[in-house]
Amino acid sequence: MSKMVKKEDYKNLLKKVSNIIEEARQKTVRQINIIITQTYWEIGKLIVEEEQRGRERAEYGKELIKKLSKDLTKCFGKG
């Protein structure tokens, strides 16, 4: 460390920069959670709409979910 930066000043700078990075990480995680929740909601809505096809209640065919799960796993992997 150069003699121009005092040890206390450096510690203070390090703490401030670390806080900014930590805040950015927390904001990122919150945004990701929001996006994932919206994505799953939209997927669920599409599935319900497909199953109901204008009817008041769906017949919830397990085959649709199984096929969709299998095909999506091929495209995107598990999880």
Contact between 60 and 51 under an 8 Å Cβ cutoff? The reply is yes
51 within domain boundaries: yes
1 within domain boundaries: no
Q: Given pLDDT bands bounded at 50, 70 and 90, which one contains residue 12?
A: very high
Total of domains in the chain: 1
In this structure, what token pair is assigned to residue 50? Answer: 């497909």
pTM for this prediction? 0.68
16 within domain boundaries: yes
14 within domain boundaries: yes
72 within domain boundaries: yes
41 within domain boundaries: yes
2 within domain boundaries: no
* H or E element in which residue 58 lies: none
For residue 43, the enclosing domain spans: 7-76
Q: What is the pLDDT of residues 37-76, one digit of tens each?
A: 999 999 999 988 888 777 776 666 678 888 999 999 999 9
